[in-house]
Amino acid sequence: MRDSIDLKILNALLANSRQSTKAISELVDISNVATQQRIRKLEDKGIIKAYTAVLDYASLGVKTVAYVGIFLEKAKNYKEVISQLARVPQITEAHFTTGNYSIFAKVYARDNQHLMEVLNEHVQSIDGIARTETFISLDLGVTKAIDLEDYR
């Protein structure tokens, strides 16, 4: 695990990836240059993979969020199926899991009709998928970044 300064930097970036390195350096009590160097090292090591924005999808016309449990014909083919799922633009995450489903995927769609099209035309046509089970989110209850100090 990274040292406590790296963890504070990462937590600060998780809270707001657009804040200045100056603000982060004041928070962690090291120089701005040292903060920039640490961030660069975290990027170079692949710990920081990307910077992103959190969007209000509903205000953009994307009103349906669903989770799809995917049953595979053969679990050993999960990498190929996940590779195919990655090509579906509406799928933002796909996890190989334990439990009832081989893969659990998150899907964003304009509405329920669009979700049905995504499932019928893209997901269920992938070789190796036996069947799917879909859960539509009614409301987002919690969204937050984890505090990395809790994982030391």
To 10 degrees, the CA torsion angle through 90, 95, 97, 103? 30
Domain membership flag for residue 117: yes
Domain membership flag for residue 152: no
Domain membership flag for residue 142: no
Same domain, 72 and 120: yes
pLDDT tens, position by position, 133-146: 999 999 988 888 88
Task: Report the SS3 class of residue 17.
Answer: coil
Query: How big is the CA angle at 113 (ends 110 and 116), to the nearest 5 degrees?
Result: 105
Taking residues 15-38, report their average pLDDT: 96
Same domain, 30 and 95: no
Same domain, 66 and 127: yes
Q: Write the CATH number for 121.
A: 3.30.70.920
Same domain, 38 and 95: no
- pLDDT value at position 1? 46
Domains held by the chain: number: 2
d(CA 134, CA 104): 10
- pLDDT value at position 2? 67
d(CA 65, CA 70): 16
- Write the DSSP symbol of residue 59: G
Going by their DSSP bridges, the two strands 129-136 and 103-109 should be labelled as unpaired
d(CA 34, CA 25): 8
Same domain, 67 and 40: no
Tell me which residue range forms the domain holding 127. Answer: 62-136
Residue 94 scores a pLDDT above 90: yes
- Residue bearing tokens 């090509």: 87
Same domain, 68 and 122: yes
Question: Which pTM was predicted?
Answer: 0.83
Q: How many residues comprise the chain?
A: 152
Domain membership flag for residue 54: no
